Amino acid sequence: MIPFIDLAAQQARLKPRIDAAIQKVLAHGAYVMGPEVRLFEEQLAAFGRARFALSCANGTDALALPLLAWEIGAGDAVFCPSFTFAATPEVVPWTGATPVFVDILPDTCNLDPGHLEASIEAVKAQGRLRPAAVIAVDLFGQPADYPAIAKICRRHGLKLLADSAQGFGCTLGGEQPLSWADAAATSFFPAKPLGCYGDGGAVLTDDAALAERIDSLRVHGKATASDVNGRPLAHDPKYLNTRIGMNSRLDTLQAAILIEKLAIFGEEIEQRQRVARRYSEGLAGHVLQVPQVIEGGLSTWAQYVIEHRDRDGLAEHLKAGGVPTAVYYPVPMHRQAPYAGFPTGPGGLPVSEAKSATVLALPMHPYLAADVQDRIIEGVRGYNG
């Protein structure tokens, strides 16, 4: 079987550096919030062109932390796509707020700004919930339509959070999602374009007050400099808890590994463009649709997702030929039992539902060799289902 994501190829390339980085952490022993965590945050902020990068335990917490910091809660509506990973809507009910599911565009599979506007208007007209925020997802690695979404958010006074778990490093007109969003969240789950060897995540923002609140929330609501405001303290500020927080930290070992991976990430994004281009050249006209990237957009190609009328038949055919595939996502979130009671925008989500029946992800990673890729392309082209 061809690997779906070949993490071993990258590891072989980085092995001496990663081994040395791990040994260094074992030697100094600062396993939590050690020096590598700060260094990685600085480098991540520089890569993401953000004033602040705050690492945390996983990408799901990275979505929850800004919502908590904005004090979003009961009575608030948070608009997000349904055709996404569970983590996107999951964090909304954590806060007591209500997710409102919005449909996607048929070409990019990202949030439909027209349906977003209609969904916000509908919630306002109903008067039961207060529109508070939008979570836009950079699905499969490509940027959402941030100029259009940010304009709608500004007009309605909503916060904009970019779920860049799959798309960290993507750009639109050369700008990263944070150029439009109030905060961007990413995940370092191993299979993500920038992954570690376990769980990890980060929030990026240019907002100093937000960064300070997230820094507090990720360590049990510890007092911040602004909370203390120069007052002399009788005890360690770590044990002065000024808000209800959580424990969400990136391990020092993971930060040390991520420093090495971030150093080659820009180059890997380039290699991913080459692999994606080759797929599209080989497959256009042979499937219902090859991926369509928004004009001016650069995808990190977390996934290369084609559409096919007989998706399941094609997947079986490829599997028989040693080619693994995956379906992201077979059931949109508004059709999942725990989420079925939450509202959708007007007219429901026909595009999200149609996509879930046709999408199929092919093996995708920066080290996919041309001959192996040719086998995959031939496999798809040779299917007459």
Ligand X SMILES: *Cc1c(COP(=O)(O)O)cnc(C)c1O
Query: Is the N-terminal amide bond of 329 cis, ω within 30° of 0?
Result: yes
- Joined tokens for residue 329: 């996502």
Distances (CA, A) of 156 to 118, 119, 121, 195, 317: 12, 12, 9, 35, 48
Of 339 and 383, the one with the shorter C-beta distance to ligand X is 339
Give the residue with the Cβ less far from ligand X, 198 or 321.
198
CB of residue 88 vs ligand X: minimum separation in angstroms?
A: 5
- Helices 7-28 and 252-263, packing angle to 10 deg: 130
Tell the smallest beta-carbon distance from residue 63 to ligand X (Å): 6
Q: Which is nearer to ligand X, 141 or 343 (CB)?
A: 141
CA 218 – CA 237 distance, rounded (Å): 14
Q: How far is the CB of 155 from ligand X (least distance, A)?
A: 25
Hey, what's the torsion of the CAs at 90, 91, 92, 97, to 10 degrees? 120
Which residues of this chain interact with ligand X, rule CB under 6 A? 58-60, 84-85, 87-88, 137, 163, 165-166, 187, 189, 199, 201
Instruction: Tell me if 219 sits within 8 A of 238, measured CB to CB.
Output: yes
Query: 3: how many CB neighbours lie within 10 A of its CB?
Result: 14
Q: Smallest distance from the beta carbon of 134 to ligand X, in angstroms?
A: 14
By three-state DSSP, how is residue 224 classified? coil
Cβ-contact 55, 219 below 8 angstroms: no
- Output the smallest distance, CB 151 to ligand X, in A: 23
For ligand X, the closer of residues 246 and 372 by Cβ is 246
State which residue, 99 or 201, has the beta carbon closest to ligand X: 201
Closer Cβ to ligand X, 91 or 211, answer by number: 91
| Least gap, CB of 18 to ligand X (angstroms) | 20
